[in-house]
Amino acid sequence: MVKQDSYHFVVESDFDGLRLDQFLSTSLSEKFSRSELQKWIKDGCVSVNGSVARQGSRKVRAGDSLEAIPRIVPEHHQAPEPIDFAVLFEDSYLAVIHKPAGLSVHPGPGDTQITLLNGLIHRWPALRGQGSRPGIVHRLDKPTEGLLLVALDHSIQWKLSRQFQERKVHKRYIAYLLSTPAELEGTLEFPLMRDRIDRRKRTVHASGRPATTIYRVTDIIKTRKGRKLCRVEIELITGRTHQIRAHFAHIGCPVVGDDLYSKSHKEFGKFGLLLLAAELGFTHPATGESMHFELEEPDRFRQFAAKAEFY
């Protein structure tokens, strides 16, 4: 098992009445994100005056003695495994990599399969043990290929995560769709929530979380079978799970090769999911430099485009 040393605090008068999760976030913001600290509380890893505290909303009082123990992470989640991925940029603070299709970024509940996280720890051993998801700033769906930002220490991880939370990161995707939207460019604003029947999926629902996708059709491909496939460029304003796939499926234009939101995988499975995280822009937290990266479309995308008219 991978575990870190515990942290001890005595609450000073300036923090009297502050929420427990806010106090921990203030005290450990350079090392851990607030969401990670909230998980510590939920998992019973935080005690106040010797008693386990499981409510982040609990108020701390001046003189309280706090102990926080980072969550225990299953060993296999952080076992180094050689995984082939390209590193486009690397310095002592962060890296930008090309995530392969078909590989989960990190383990899900009960997941024992090898993920990109294992490969990151193999490539950068110092990440091991730095929280439950060391280096992970954001994620791409398992079948999605493209640019992924990796933090190489906790302080940078938190600062980069804040840029995503504050929507200061530019993300552009390329996708091929099974049908062409009625409007060749526009904005999809449909709230998303976990599907109540198929828990793997996200569905549009009024009680879901706000989600905004901007798109522009760049090419329309009329096939010999009467289809109107298309290529779209997409900008994400929010970054919900499966957002692009769920939004375009909702308007009747699922992504080509999507085995979850359409039946096209049977016909186009050899190409995989044709969704690429093609462009990423952000501010380097340590240098203040504006960073920008782009990927060309992979061979499988070009092969599909060359053969699309026959479908």
Active-site positions read 141
> Look-up: residue for tokens 């080509």?
256
CA–CA distances in Å: residue 202 to residues 25, 150, 170, 208, 279: 30, 26, 23, 9, 24
Q: Please state, in angstroms and rounded to a whole number, the distance separating the CA atoms of residues 48 and 26.
A: 16
Q: Please state, in angstroms and rounded to a whole number, the distance separating the CA atoms of residues 44 and 72.
A: 11
DSSP E strands, 100-152: 145-151
Q: Please state, in angstroms and rounded to a whole number, the distance separating the CA atoms of residues 277 and 253.
A: 18
Q: Please state, in angstroms and rounded to a whole number, the distance separating the CA atoms of residues 206 and 191.
A: 6
CA angle 22, 208, 29 (to 5 degrees): 20
CA–CA distances in Å: residue 70 to residues 28, 157, 270: 11, 16, 43
